[in-house]
Chain A
Amino acid sequence: MQEFIWLLPSFPLAGFLILVLTSGTLSRITVAVIGAGSIGLSFLVASIIAVQFLGSGDDYYIKEVWAWMSVGGFSPGFSFYLDGLSLVMMLIITGVGFLIHLYATGYMADDPSYSRFFSYMNLFIAAMLMLVLGDNLVLLYLGWEGVGLCSYLLIGFWYTKPENGYAARKAFVVTRVGDTSMAIGLFLLFAQLGTLNIQDMLHVAEVEWNIGSGLAIATTMLLLGGAVGKSAQLPLQTWLPDAMAGPTPISALIHAATMVTAGVYLIARTHVLFQLAPSVQLLVAWIGLITLLMAGFTALTQSDIKRILAFSTVSQIGYMFLGLGVGAWSAAIFHLMTHAFFKALLFLASGTVILSMHHEQSIFKMGGLRKALPVSFASFLIGSLALTAFPYTSGYFSKDEILLAALELDGPGIFLWAGGVLGAFFTGIYTFRLFFVVFFGETSGHPPEKEVGGWHMNGPLIVLMVLSIFGGFISIPVDAVFGHGESHEEHHVSALVHGFMVAVPLLGILVSYLCFHKKVFSIEKLMSYSISRRLHKFWHSGWGMDWLYDRVFVFPFLWLSRINHADLVDRFYGLIVEVSKSANKMVVKSQTGYLRWYAFIMALGLVALLLLGIIL
C-alpha cells in the first residue's frame, strides 16, 4: 500500500481540479462531498499507509513518481519520502484537515462562493502534503509556495473588502521575504553540496562540514529565514494576526494547525544542519522565546476573538521553536501535533461562536454565552485547558517536554526555561480572559437564539475535544528520525520544579479568574494610568512592529514608486529627443522660404568650394 503514497496529494488535487473546472455549477451537496470527501479519502489512505509503515519496521520509504527534471547534475524528482516525521505530519494534515473540511461544509453553507472555497482548501491540502512528503528541497519548496498561495487566496476569500485583500497580500509578501531567503539557502546548499535531496544532502553535510563552520551557519540562517516567515516568528510574525481576515475554518486549518507549522517542520527536517551550527540553533531557541513572550503580551490586549487566538498561535509556535532550539526535536513535533488539535478546536469553536453571534468578533460584545452555546462552551473549556497545559491534557505533555529539555540545556538553558514558564503563565491569563469574558459574566448585546451547528459542525468539535484531552498519550514514531540527535533518558528534575511548572499556568488561570470573572482587580482602574494605557497600546499594536516595518520598508518603497512613476531612464531618452528637437529648431530658421535666400546660400557655397579648391 505504501507505493500508493502518491494518492495522498492526488485526491485533493483532483478535487481541486473538478471544482475549478466546473466553476460553481455543481450543487452544494456535490461540492461538499467532493471537497471534504477527497480529504477523507486521503486520510483513509494515509492511515492505511501509516499502519503498514509502522508494521514494517522500516525507517523510511521512498517512492519516486517521476523525474521532475535533470539538468547538469541537478535532478530533483517528484519523489515522496516517508519516515516517522512525515508520517506524523501527513496524518495531522489529512486528519485535522478532514475534520476542518467537514466543519466548513456547515460553516460556509450560506456563502455564495461555496465551490471556490473548497477548491482552494483542497489545493491547500495537496500542496501541504507535497511540502511534508517531498524528498527533496525543491519539491518541499513547491509545497511551501503552494500553501502560501492558498493562504493568500483564502485570506482574501471575501475579496470585496479591500482590507481583506490587503491582509492577504501582506501575508503573501511577508512570507515571500522568508521564502526568498530560503531559496537563496537552497542555491547555497546546491552550490556546496551538489544535491538538494534532503537525505543525501544531510549525509554529505555531516561528512563535509565541521560543527560551527561558516557554511553551516550561512545555510541554516537562510533556511531559518524561510522558517520564521512561514511560521510567523520574529521578525516576520506581523502577517499572521491580519490573516484572520479569512473565513474561520481557514484560520483553523492554515493559520493554526498546518501551514504555519511548516517552519517547524523545515527545521526538524534539516535538523542535522542545525546541529552543525549550534549558534544558529540557539538563535532558534531565542527567537522562539522572544516571540512567545511578545505574542503572549499582545494576546492579553486584544479584543477580537480570532486575533487573540492568532497571537496565541504565534506564541505556541514560539514554544515549538524553543523546543527545536534546545534540541528537543521530537518534543517540538509533539507540540506541533497537540497544538494542531487544540488550536483547531479553539478556532472552530470560535467559528461557531462568531456565526451564532452573526459575525460579531469582539469578545466584549459577547458574554454569558455558556448557556446559549453549550458545544462551543465545552470546546473552549477543553481547548483552553489544553492550551494552558492543564495537567494530563495534551498540551501539558508536549509543553512540559519542551520546557524540561530547555532546563537541561547548559548555559542559557535556565533563562530559556524561565522565559518559557513565564510565557505559560501569560498563556493561562490570556486564554482564560477570553474564556471568562465570552462565556461568563453578563449577557451583553444581542444574545444568540440558538447555537449554529449540525452533525457536520459539532462532530469535528467532539473529535477534536477528545484528541485535545487524550492527544498527549499518543506516542509519535519519530525516534528513528531524530535518533542520534537527542537523549532519551527520562528527564530528571526535582518534584519541586515539576510542581512549579504545573502550578504556574494554573496561577495564570487563577489571575484571569480573579480579574475577568470575579473582577477582584479592576482592569478599568489599571487602565486609568497613562503608562498602562501606553503600554496597552504598544502591546496591542504587536510591539509596534507594523509601525516600524511601514516606515522602514513600505513607505520608502511607495515613495520611490511615486517619485519614479515615469521611469527615470526614459527621461534620458526624452533628453535626447529634446536636444534634437531644439537643434532642429535652430536649423529650421535657415528655411526662410525666400527663393533668393536659397540662391544666395547656393552661390556662397559654390564660392566657398572654389576658394577651397584654390587654396588646397
Chain B
Amino acid sequence: MNLEQIMDMLKTQERLAKNITHWAVIPEKPGEYEAFPEYLSPKLISALKKKGIHRLYSHQRRALDEVMANNDITVVTPTASGKSLCYNLPVLNAILADKNARAIYLFPTKALSQDQVSELMDIVDEMEEDIKTFTYDGDTPVNARVAIRKDGHIVVTNPDMLHTGILPHHTKWMKLFTNLKYIVIDEIHIYRGIFGSHTANLLRRLHRICKFYGSNPIFICCSATIANPRELSEKITQKPMVLIDQNGAPAGEKNIIFYNPPVVNRQLGIRRSSLLEAKTIALGFLKNRVQTITFARSRLAVEVMLTYLQEEMKNLHGGRNSIRGYRGGYLPKERRAIEKGLREGKILGVVSTNALELGIDIGNLDVSIITGYPGSVASTWQQAGRAGRRSSVSASILVASSSPLDQFIINHPEYFFEASPEHGLINPDNLYILVSHIKCAAFELPFSDGEIFGGENIDEILAFLEGERILRHVGGRWHWMAESFPAEEISLRSASMENFVITDITEGAKVIGEVDRSSAPMLIHEEAIYIHAGQQYQVEKLDYEEKKAYVRKVDVDYYTDANFAVEIKVLDVFRQKADNNQQNYMGEVMVTSLATMFKKIKFFTHENLGFGPIHLPPEEMHTTAYWLSIPENTGDLSRDEIESGLLGLCNVMVNIAPLYLMCDPRDVRGVVQIKSPFTQKPTIYIYDNFPGGVGFSEKLYDMEDQLLKAARQVIMECDCEDGCPSCVGPYEEVGHGSKTFALKIIKGVLSD
C-alpha cells in the first residue's frame, strides 16, 4: 500500500475513521515570485541560477530590500520556504562587496548549524569566491580555531559557544567584532522562557563588545509562526524590527488529521492512551514501508514508544534496528548516525522528542505522527512539516492525549488553523539570569559608573557584586575580581548548571547521559526506572551531593512516576487589581517542593503496581506567580466544595495556559490554598516553574478573564460525568462534584 491508499483506509476503516475529529487538506499553494534586485552581485545571481534558482520568493526579496536599507528584520517562515536565503543573500552580497565584512550565525543547536554551513558552502563554492564559513562550537578542533578567529567571514555557532567560547575571549576575535555587519538568529521562537531570557542577556553582552570595537551589526531573525514574533525578536535583540510575514513559497498538498482516541471509560472520561493509538497508526504506515516519524512529548514516552514499535517490527524486514529513537541525552555520534540513516532511507521509522522538529536534515519523510499535542501550535506545525518538505502529498496526524490542552485543541481546530494565540515570552530582567550575565559582562569588559545594561541602570547590582567580592569598584569602573571564569558556571539552557550524571554500572562504569537538577527528583530518585535508548535501567544509588546517579540494566514491565508536595509563600506583590468578585495579583513567591513517593506503572495497561518512598531534600525556588483570590462565599459553596472546585479550576487553568504562553505544560505549576495566609481568601496560584520567573505570570495577569473563560469552555464541553483528566482532573484527586463547583466559582467571579 502506498501513502494514498493508507490514507483512504484511515478514512474508511470504521475503527479509525470515527475518531478523526478534523481532516484538513491544505491545498497546493502556488509561489509568489520577484526578480533578483539590481544591487545583488552578478556573481551571486549566477551561482543561484546554477543551483536552479532563477527568481526569488516574494518574502526573500523583501528581506533583501529591508536589510539593504539597514533595517533589522524578523522573517516568519513555515518549514521549507527557503528561509536560509533570506539571510544568506544579504550576508553574501555584503561580503562580496567588502571582504572585510563579517557575520555571526546563531542556531539554537549544534546539529542545525552543521547543516546550515553545508548549504552556505554550496553557494560559496558555486561562486568560486574566497568566502570562509566555519562552524565554531565545542567540536571545533583547537588547531582550527586560530584560523577561524582571524579569517572566518561567517562564523556559525550557537548561543552556548558565544557565551563561553567567544565573548569571554573577544580580544582574540577582534577582527570579527570590528567588522561585524550581520547577526543572523535562526529559529528565534526557540529562544523563549529561560533560554530566551539568557540569550537576550547574551546579546546585551554582545552589544557592549560591538560597541567597544565600534561596530553596530544588523540583526536578521527567522521565526516560526507565533502570535508575537516581532515583540519576541525585539526583546531578544533590543532592536526595532521590520516584520516580514507574507510567505511567497509554494507548498505541496498536505493532509492534517486530528485524531482523538476513543473514550474507554465514559464515567471517568478516560480515553485510550494516545501512545497506544499512535503506535497502531504508525505501524499501519511502517508495515507498508512508508517512512514515518513519530513524535512523542517526553523522553520517557519516546523510549516507551520505541520499545513498542521495535517489538512489533522485530520479525519484519529490517528488524528492530529499522526503528530508532532520537532525543536529547543521546550522544552526538549516535545522533549523527541516525540522521544519516534517515536521509539514506536505511532507517524506516524514527521516534523522537521535539529534538527533530527543527531543521536538522533528515530528508523527506512521508508521514509524521504527533503523539499528544506538542505543547505549542508552532511546534505542531514544525513537527507536521517534517512530512513532505518538498512538493509531494504528505500526511500529519495529531493524536490527542486526555490532557485538557490536547482535548481543547483537538476540539477547537480553529485555534490551530487560524491566528496563533501563542506568545513567545521571555524575561531578560529575571534577576537570577540578569545577575549571572552582569558577572559575565564584567569579566568581558569592566562596567563604567552609570553604564546601562539592557536599558537599565545596574549600579545597585554592581554594588551588590562588589559586596560579594566578585567585582571591584575603582577609578569609576567595576572590574572582575575573581579567579573563576563566570561563563562556565552558567548554563543558558536551564536555570541551574547542575546536571546529574548518569552512570551505568552493569559492567564496569559507563556514563550514559545527564539529567538536569530540576528533573532529577522526578527521573532518577532511587529505585526509579530510567530508560535510555530503549533500555531500562534501575537507579541503584543517587548521590545527591556529588550529583551522580548509578544505574543498572534491568528488564521489568513497568515504569515509575514521582509525586510532589508543594507549598507556596508570597514574598512581594508587583501588581494587583480587583475585577468583579476576584482579586488578581502578580508578584514574587517562594515555592518549596518535596518529592514524596513514586508509583510503579505497568506498561500497556498503565495499572498501578505499587508505591515507594523518595528521600530527597526539599527544593526551594524563588519565582514569580500570578494568583487569583475569590470571596469565601462564592456560589454559596461550602468550604470543601470550594476547595474541590478550586483544585479542579486550577488544574484546567494550568493545563490550558501553555496555549497562550507557548511553554511546556511543566513550565507553569498551580497550587491552591483554601485560606491563603496572604489574601486570607480561597486562592489559586499559578507560578513560573523557573527561579526568578520568565514572564509567564505577567502574561497570565494581563490576560484578564481570557483564561477563566477558556477554562469554562473546557469544563462545559467535557463529556465526563464527574471530572476526568481532560478537564478538572480525576475525582480521586479533586473530589466528587469538582466540575460543578468549578463552574459555580467561574460564574461567581465572571460578570458575563
Report if A and B associate in a common complex: no
Instruction: Give the A-binding residues of B (Cβ under 8 A).
Output: none
Instruction: Give the B-binding residues of A (Cβ under 8 A).
Output: none
